[in-house]
Chains A and B, each alone.
Chain A
C-alpha cells in the first residue's frame, strides 16, 4: 500500500516537467493535456464499457475458438462477481462456490433427463439452487472469517461428493450430457448465436444488478458489517440477516452461472465442482480484485486464459497460477482492479497538479 501511495506523486512530477517546464511555452500544451485527462475522468468508464461490449458482441459472432473462450469467461465471470459480492463486500469468502455452480447445472440436467421439459428443467435447477442457498445459509452465516471459509469448503465438498458418488442420480464421474436446450418461438437456445448472445445479456444483467446492490443502502450496510459488525449491530442493523441475504444472492447467481455453464458445455460432471475449482473461483476474485465486481470478471478472463491458452505452451501453468495468487496476496492486495484504480488516482492527482499550476505561476 505504501508503494501505491508514493507512486502517483512520482509519476505526476515526471510527466509535469516536459509539459510545463520553465523553458517551455506552457499554456496550450497544458490545457490540451488537462482537457484530455478530464475527458478520460468523465467518460473513460462508459467509453471502456461500450468498447468492451462491442468487442464481446463481435467476438461472439464467430464459431471459432475465440467465441468459445469468451463464453467460458463470461460464465465464470458471473460466478466470480457473485462471489465478490459475498466475499468482498460482506467479508464472507466462500470456498464452496463451485459446488453451487454444480447444483444449478445438475439441477437442470437431472430434471431434464428424468422428468421434465427444458424450460421446466431450468426452473427446477434455479429453484433447487435457491432452496439450497436458503437452507444452507442458516448454517453458513452463523460464523465469520476463517470459519466461514472452512464451512463453505465443507459444503462444497458435500455437493461434490454427492455428484461423484450418488451414481443413480448424477451418473457419477461420467457426468450428464444435455442434448436439448430450451426454446420458445423464434427464441431458440439451440441456435449457437442466440445462446451466445443470451449468455452475454445474462452476464450484463447480473453485473449491473450486483453493482446496483453494492451501491444500495443494503450494499453499504454489508460493508459496514465487514469492517465492524459489532458497531453495525449496536446501531440496530440486523447484521445476520444482511449476511444471509448476501449469501442467498451470491448462491443464486452462481447457480445461474451453473445453468449457463451446462448450456455452453452441454455436459456437467463432478470435475466442475472439485476443490480445485472452488479455489479457482477464489483466485479469480482475489487476482481481479476484491470489492470491485468488475475486477473478478477480469480475473475470470485471466484465469480462463491461463487454463485454455497458457496450458498449451506451459505444462506447469498451475504452478504459475499458484505463484501468481501468492504474489497478488503479498504485493498487490487490490488485485488487477486495484491497479486500474491506482492509475485513476494517479490521473486525478495529475489533474489536480495541472489545475493548480496557473495559480502557482502567478505567485512567482
Chain B
C-alpha cells in the first residue's frame, strides 16, 4: 500500500512535468495549427542550459529563469523566422521542426556531451520528508515539482479564462479568421503563444532535470509523452492537456513499477482506445 501511494505520487510528479510540456504544445497547435515536433528538444535544451547556469551560479532559481527566458526567446526567434517563412503549411512546419530536432540534439551533444546529467535542488528541497498519516519517506524535490506545476496550471487557467489575452487565445483556438477580422493583431498573438509554449518547455526542462535527469534522448521521451497527452486530451485543448497528463503520468509510473516489460507500450493503450472511440480526443473539438 505504501509503495502504491509512493508510486501514485511519482505518477503525479511526472504528470506535472508532462503537463508543462504538453500545455505549450497543445496551445501552439490550437492557436497556430503548428505541430512543433522540436518541442521536446526545446525542453531538453532548457534542461541543459539550466544545468550549466546552476553549476556556474550555484543558484537554482537563476538556472530556472535562464532556461525559461532563454527558451522563450528561442521560441520567439523560431516563430519569427522558420514558422513565419513556411506561411502556415502544416506539413512543411512539421518537417522543418523535425529537422530542427537533429540540429538541437547534435549541438547539445557537442556542448554537454553524452553522459546523463542531474540537476540537484538546493537546501531542504534536496532532502526528503516523512509524509503524514502514511509515514512514507518521500523526496522533497518531487513534492516541490508537483506544487510548482499545480501553481503554473492554475496560473495558466487564470490567464486563459480570466484575462483579455486569454480570451483572445481561446478565440484563436476556436476561429482564427474571426479573431483577425475583429482587428486583433493575430501575428502578435502567434508570437506570444509560441514564446509562452517554448518558455514553459524550457522551465519544465529544468524541473524534469531534477527527477528524470538531463540526457540524450530525453527529448523524444518527453515529446512522445506530450503527443500521447494531446491525442488523449484533444489537440488544442488546455483542459485536455491536464486530464491527459494525469492519465499518462500515472500509467507510465504504474507500468514501470508493476509491468516493466511493457511499461512503455501500455502507455499507448489509452491512445489507441481514444483514437478508435473518440478520435478528436476527450476534450477536443471535432476537426473542421
Contact = CB atoms under 8 A, between A and B. Distances in A.
B231 A154 contact: yes
Nearest to A93: B91
A151 interface: yes
Interface string B99-119: 111110111001000000000
B262 A166 contact: yes
Interface stretch (A178-186, A228-236, A276-284): A276-284
A339 interface: no
Interface in A146-193: 146-147, 149-151, 153-155, 157-158, 160-162, 164-168
Contacts of B107: 316, 319
B98 interface: yes
Nearest to A317: B106
A325 interface: yes
7 contacts: A157-B268, A165-B265, A275-B224, A282-B98, A283-B98, A283-B99, A323-B103
A335 to B, nearest CB: 11
Interface stretch (B82-90, B166-174, B191-199): B82-90
Interface of B: 33, 35, 82, 85-86, 90-92, 94-96, 98-103, 105-107, 110, 220, 223-224, 227-228, 230-231, 235, 260-265, 267-268, 271-272, 275-276, 279, 287
Between B85, B103, B231, B262, the greatest number of chain A beta carbons within 10 A of the residue's beta carbon is seen for: B103
Contacts of B106: 316, 318-319, 322
A324 B96 CA distance: 10
A161 B264 contact: yes
A147 B235 contact: yes
Contact of A321 (B102, B235, B264, B279): B102
Contact of B94 (A149, A154, A333): A149
B102 A279 contact: yes
A154 B268 contact: yes
A165 B262 contact: yes
Closest 5 CB pairs of A and B: A161-B264, A322-B102, A325-B99, A322-B103, A318-B106
A123 interface: no
A162 B101 CA distance: 24
Contacts of A325: 95-96, 98-99, 102
Main secondary structure of the interface of A (DSSP, over half): helix
Interface of A: 93, 95, 138-139, 142-143, 145-147, 149-151, 153-155, 157-158, 160-162, 164-168, 274-276, 279, 282-283, 286, 315-316, 318-319, 321-326, 329-330, 333
Nearest to A91: B91
Contact of B220 (A145, A166, A276, A315): A276
Contacts, number: 127
Contacts of B94: 146, 149
A157 B100 contact: no
Given A154-B268, A321-B102, 18 more contacts: A139-B272, A139-B276, A142-B279, A149-B94, A150-B35, A150-B231, A154-B227, A157-B224, A157-B268, A160-B264, A276-B220, A321-B99, A323-B99, A325-B96, A326-B82, A326-B96, A326-B99, A330-B82
Given A143-B275, A153-B224, A322-B100, A316 B91 contact: no
Contacts of B268: 154-155, 157-158
Contacts of B35: 146, 149-150
A154 B101 contact: no
Contacts of B231: 147, 150-151, 154
B261 A167 contact: yes
B92 A315 contact: no
B206 to A, nearest CB: 23
Nearest to A159: B265
Contacts of B265: 158, 161-162, 165-166
A286 B35 CA distance: 17
Nearest to B261: A166
Nearest to B264: A161
Nearest to A286: B95
Nearest to B271: A154
A322 B96 CA distance: 8
A325 B94 CA distance: 11
B272 A326 contact: no
B90 to A, nearest CB: 5
B98 A145 contact: no
B47 to A, nearest CB: 18
A145 B90 contact: yes
Nearest to B104: A322
Contacts of B272: 139
B260 A165 contact: yes
Nearest to A327: B99
A45 B79 CA distance: 42
A318 B85 CA distance: 23
A161 B230 CA distance: 20
A235 B211 CA distance: 55
Between B90, B99, B106, B231, the greatest number of chain A beta carbons within 10 A of the residue's beta carbon is seen for: B99
A65 B98 CA distance: 31
Nearest to B99: A325
B96 A330 contact: yes
A102 to B, nearest CB: 13
Contacts of B220: 274-276
A330 B35 CA distance: 16
Contacts of A143: 275, 279
Contacts of A161: 262-265, 267
Nearest to A145: B90
B28 to A, nearest CB: 12
A329 B100 CA distance: 12
Between B102, B110, B228, B261, the greatest number of chain A beta carbons within 10 A of the residue's beta carbon is seen for: B102
A153 B227 contact: yes
A58 to B, nearest CB: 34
A278 to B, nearest CB: 9
